[in-house]
Each structure stands twice: as structure tokens, then as C-alpha cells.
Structure 1
Amino acid sequence: MTTVFSNSVYICALIIFTSSTLHAQTTNLITNEKSQLIKLFDGGFFTEGPAYGSDGNFYFSDITFTVETNMQAGIIWKHELQSGKTFVYRSPSGMANGIEFDKFNNMIVCEGSDHGGRKITSTDLTTGKSKILTALFNGAPYNSPNDLVIDSKNRIYFTDPRYSGYEKIEQPCFGVYRLDQDGSVTLIIDEIAMPNGIALSPAADRLYIGCNYEGNLERGIKPQTDIFIFNLDENGLASNGKIFIDYPDEFGPDGMTVDKEGNLYVALRDESNPSIYIYDLDSRLIEKISLPEVPSNVTFGKGKEKNNIFMTAGGSLYKITVLSEGNN
């Protein structure tokens, strides 16, 4: 049986309960007085991977940690922007996390660990058929592919940390990889403790990597909660990595995206002040968009939705209209 959710109920709730109708903090750079936060969906467990589909619908993942959900197997949800209804698109999802669409309109998915696929897959939305793009590096499974970004040459950059799961870790590092059109995979970054969110500058010459690692006191490993920036050359090789934003050890960044001006939007996992933090090219905080739940990821829509930001947070999906546009 197909599960269906409608956002109309939540819009009514937003009107009745003013605490649920949130206005973003505004400096007239990204939002204005008309920018209102709308909850589109709240039936998930841990929503992630928001992506505007080539079919005009919106897709996002739901990470159903097996220990906490009685062995559920992950979900990819499909939200129809016209009807406001949300359906189960795929379950089991292979513990899908990050989702993007390539230039051929295929859905590219990071499948994680915890009984998931630990691979990168591609799905043709027209036929529904999927194929594995990569599942091994140097003959060993990935740790837990987490998030991804795709450049204009259709090269896929993805992060491979490990936050949960029973599976043996067989890779020597938590890395950032580039998957080329010919199927070859290159490890381009290996010095970040736990790479998570990833974003590419509009000119594709800067690669942002978020690290959200609480450390391991027993092993003497300190927390690392930063956003790093790397130069990226035309061959897709990263160099000259440095800290772009340094966060307190108590919380760190999750998913990220950029707008056409190059501003960086960060889902910051700060339980005391759940927000999307927006930074300019010089790492200055220019605005925050407050949320009622801790955010996990953020992206822009496309076409007529190009001025809408979609955010996953808690078990929900939100959107807000802004003055900026995504780098699509």
C-alpha cells in the first residue's frame, strides 16, 4: 500500500498556531518580510538528502536507523509540489542518504551502512531501473557514502564517513572521492576526520567539505567540527585545503549548498539554535534561517522553484522562499 501525506494539513496548522509560522531573521540579503517557513511533510524518522527532481517533483531520503526503528530499511520519499502529497518512492532504499540529479536526469544516490548498500547508484526516473555506479574502492566496500555533488562534466564527488552500522570498516580512511563518467574512482581528500556535507562553488573551482566528528576520548582523538575549503582544478583534483569555518566542539555542520552568488548555506546541527547558516565568500555569517527542528540538509529548487530553499530537519521537510537563486 502506498503511503500518502499531504502538506495541506500542515499549512493549516501553520496558520492556526503562530509558533509554527516562522519568519527568517532578515538582513534583506537572502530573505525578506514575505519569507515564511512552510512545513511540507513530517512523517519521517531522520530526513536527509533533499533534491529537486528532473520530473518536477521533490525527493528526499529517510534514514531509519535499524536499532531505533525495529529494522526498517530506509525510505526515499517523493513529494509532489503541485498536489502537496508525499509518497513512498522506494523502500528499502539501501539506507539512502544524499541524493542529486545528474545532467541526464538520473537520480544519483549515496547508500550508507547499517544494513544499507554502501554504494553509489543511478536510477532512471522514467523506467525506474537502477544500476550500481561504484560499490568498491581498491577492492573493498566503502564505509558509508553520505553526501554528493555533481559538476558540469557530470563528475560525482562524494563523502564516505561512518556514523552508524555493524559492518566492518575496510577503507583505511574516511575519504572524499571523485567518480568519473568512465566509471573510474579517485580518492581526492583523505585528511578530514569525518567528511560529511559537500558543496561546489559556482565556478567549480572551490570544494567545501563539512566535518562533523565528536571525537573519541578513549582513543585520544579530539573533536573536529569544521567546514574545509579546497581548491579544485579542471581535472577534479583538490589541493590547498584549509578551514573555512571553525565551529565549537559541541556541534558541527551537516549538508550544504551554494547559491548563484557563491554564498554557502549550511545545515548546522546546533540543538540550542536550529538554523540554516548562510556565509559569504569570505566566511562571514550574513544570515540565519531558524527552524523548529535540527536541520540535516538544504538545497534549492529549480525552474519555477528556483527561489525556494528546501530543508530536511528532524523527520520533516520544510521550504522557504528567498531572494537568492540556486546554482543550477
Structure 2
Amino acid sequence: MFIKKPVSVRTFIAFLMLLALTTRAQQPPVAVIERLHPNLDAVIDTHATVSVIADGFGWVEGPLWVEAEKMLLFSDVLNNRIYKWTAEKGTRIYLEPSGYTAAVPRGKELGSNGLAINARGQLVLCQHGDRRISVMNAPLANPEPAFITAAGDYRNKKFNSPNDLAVKSNGAIYFTDPPYGLEQGPEDPARELPFHGVYRIAKDGHVTLLADSLTRPNGIAFFPGEKQLLIANSDPQKPHWYIYDLDKEGGLANGRVFFNGTAIFQKEHRTPDGIKINKRGVVFAPGPGGVWIFNKEGRALGRIKTSLITSNCAFSEDYRTLFITADHCVLKVTLK
């Protein structure tokens, strides 16, 4: 390229801005909406834009929208922090440490994972490093790393690493306990329980084992009406989503496969992870190739398809916005 005559600084800056815009326009989208069934059209626009609202983390998980503070909370599991995002101020550290409070250094997935709000309006955390379900002993608006243990063991044996949770309207907390927070995984010598369980913490603090047959229980969510519970199994050998009926005591009954993920796992090697279900019973389930969208009967309607490894998702208060934790960043997309 030859420049025949000098150009002004303003012209040169304008040229650089145009070049930057052109380059940005050539970048592939973060994600696209893949339509597998016509009923997807009632859930999300196939031309919806998926945008990145936060980036630069280790591994993000457990997104939670807090309407009272108009903020999104999410865990950076590798860096032992919770961040908050607001539309006005972007991202900042919310809580540190979030999942491991001991003085002895350790690695791997040591931070918090799943987050929820309990019946008292308190933050509830799945703490990988401390291997417990805890409650933050501080107001949501003024967080502090002060925790009260809601449950840390079953029959005097420490949990593996509580991963995700769902709070029932009666105050009971249902949670999963796979081995991912153990430094050496399922073979870690510190492991005390011989299975990976699904548990319920009653309002009085009593812990009940609900299931011990799932190989890698992970995401967990209630369907509207709280008569059924969905659990993701993040095992490459059984990459399924399971549905259970809830009996009168709040236990699990009639467990069965909601969606068999074997075929999709063979194409894209990522297992089921977190789950969220909207008020219409539509399931949003991070898994192979992005976030899968199922109707309440288990039919795949579509997928928010991305090359990023998606871990979990959360709705805004009105269910019109979906936030997605994906590897090192957080995504946002508008729903119908």
C-alpha cells in the first residue's frame, strides 16, 4: 500500500476505527440458536444475539440473579471467589474466599459452585473446598466471608464436594454431591463416602440421603409445582438427565431417564451440567455443544450452540433474560 500524500490525524484515526469495526464484524458470533423443533419459536428467537458480559475468569459456575440488588452473582471455582455483575457497573469481586476457608493451600476446584437464596433471603453456597453447604452470615448488600454450616456430613462422614442445589418453597434444600471438588477426584484419599449422593436438608437441619445410585449427580432443579425434580448426571458413560417424582415426604420416587444424552455425547464430548427450569416447565440444560432446551416432556426443542464449555445458567426475575456461565466468561441472551 502506497500513500501518495499526507493524511490528517483525524482521517487516520477514522481509518483505524473503521478497520476495527470491520474486523469485529468478521468475528464469528459467540453462540447461535439451533432450532430442532418448531416449538422453540415460543421460547427464543432463532436470531437472538448472545453476548459476552464478563470475561477473564478461571472457571465460572453457579450463576444466580438477585432481584433485590439487581445483580448477577457467579462463582469462579478455580480462584475461590464470587463475582457480581450489574448492568451499571459491570463486574467486581463480591466475596473472597467463597468455598475454601482453611489456611493450608490447596488447588483444583476449591471455590464455591452452586448458589441460591434461602427462605430467609440469605445466600446459600455449595462450597467445594470446605465440602459443605453453608449460609453466608451477612446481608446480601454487604457480603462477608462469614459462613454458617447448613450441612457438612452425612452420618458423620464428610460430603465429597457439594456441587449444585435447589431450594424448595418449604425451605428444604436439595443438593448433589459429586467428586469434582476433591483434589484427586473420586480416588482422593480424603474421600469418606463410597457413593455420590443426592440429599435434602430439612428446615430443622436434618440431612436425608435421597439417592445414591447416580454416578455423577450434578445440576438439579424443580419443575413448576415442585412435584418433580430433574437431575443431570455428568458421567460420560451415562450422560443423561433423570426425572423423579416427589412423594409426600419430599423423597424421590419413580426415577427415570428424562433425556438420554448418549448420542449427542458421542458427537460433542461434554456431559450434562447445571439446570434451570422456567415457569412454563421449559428446561435449559448446559451440556454437549452449549445449552440444550427441552420441553417438559423431554423433547429437545433446540440449543444455544457455542464452542465454549457451558456449565450452568440462570434467569432474570421475569424469565426474559438467560445468563450462562461458560468456561472463562459469562453470556447473556434475551428469551421470549
Q: TM-score with structure 2 length normalisation?
A: 0.80
Q: Which of 146, 155, 160 is the matching residue for 2:177?
A: 160
For residues 80 and 42 of structure 1, what CA distance do their matches in structure 2 show?
14
- Structure 1 SS opposite 2:275: strand
Give the number of aligned pairs. Answer: 286
Could you tell me whether the CA contact under 8 Å between 1:141 and 1:171 is conserved in 2? yes
- CA offsets 1:90-149 (integer angstroms, 9 cap, x no match): 22221101111123221111011xxx1101111231453431111111111100100001
Of 252, 272, 286, which aligns to 1:253?
272
- The Cα shift of 1:291 comes to 2.5
Select the residue among 91, 101, 104 that pairs with 2:120.
104
| 1:28 aligned counterpart, secondary structure | helix
Q: 2:270–2:309: 8 Å Cα contact kept in structure 1?
A: no
Cα separation, 2, equivalents of 1:138 and 1:284: 39
Structure 1 residues 265 and 37, CA gap change in structure 2 (3 angstroms): same
Provide the rounded CA distance (Å) in 2 between the counterparts of 1:17 and 1:153.
51
User: Structure 2 vs 1, CA of residues 13 and 278 (structure 1 numbering), >3 Å: closer, same or farther?
Assistant: farther
- Of 221, 229, 232, 1:199 maps to 221
Deviation at 1:235, TM superposition (A): 2.2
The one-letter code matched in structure 1 to 2:49 is: Q
Assess if the C-alpha contact under 8 Å between 2:230 and 2:242 holds in 1.
yes
Rounded to whole Å, the distance in 1 between the matches of 2:31 and 2:231 is: 29
SS of alignment partner, residue 224 of structure 1 = coil
Query: How far is the alpha carbon of 1:155 from its aligned partner?
Result: 1.0
User: Quick one: structure 1 residues 13 and 288, their matched pair in 2 at CA, closer, same or farther if it must change by over 3 Å?
Assistant: farther
Deviations 1:180-233 (A, max 9, x none): 11111101111111101111101101111111123xxxxxxxx22111111012
Cα distance between partner residues in 2 of 1:13 and 1:238: 55
Partner Cα separation in structure 2 for residue 39 and residue 170 of structure 1: 40
Work out whether residues 58 and 81 of structure 1, in 8 Å CA contact, stay in contact via their aligned partners in 2: no
CA distance in 2, matches of 1:81, 1:14: 26
Matched, 1:212 2:249: no
Aligned pairs (5 A) from 1:1-328: 16-20=25-29, 22-26=31-35, 27-32=40-45, 35-53=48-66, 54-64=68-78, 72=79, 74-83=80-89, 85-94=90-99, 95-112=111-128, 116-123=129-136, 124-128=139-143, 129-163=146-180, 164-166=182-184, 167=188, 168-214=190-236, 223-248=237-262, 250-268=269-287, 270=288, 274-303=289-318, 306-323=319-336
Which residue identity lines up with residue 123 of structure 2 in the other structure?
M
CA 1:30–1:14: 2 relative to 1, 3 Å: farther
8 A Cα contact 2:32 2:306, kept in partner: no
Q: For the residues of structure 2 that align with 1:14 and 1:309, how far apart are their CA atoms?
A: 28
Q: Which has the greater radius of gyration? A: 2
100-109 or 140-149, larger mean C-alpha shift: 100-109
Distance in 1 (CA, whole Å) between partners of 2:23 and 2:230 is 34
Consecutive unaligned residues of structure 2, counting only runs of 5 or more, are 1-20, 100-110
2:229·2:246 contact (CA, 8 Å) conserved in 1? yes
Identity of aligned residues (%): 28
Specify whether residues 243 and 290 from structure 1 end up closer, same or farther in structure 2 by C-alpha distance, changes over 3 A only. same
CA distance in 2, matches of 1:162, 1:13: 46
2:274 is paired with a residue whose SS is strand
Using the TM superposition, give the Cα deviation of residue 35 of structure 1 relative to its aligned residue in structure 2, in angstroms. Answer: 2.1
- Check the 8 A contact 2:162/2:175 in 1, yes or no: yes
CA distance in 2, matches of 1:138, 1:21: 46
The alpha-carbon deviation at position 48 of structure 1 amounts to: 0.4
Calculate the TM-score normalised by the size of structure 1: 0.82
CA distance in 2, matches of 1:92, 1:301: 26
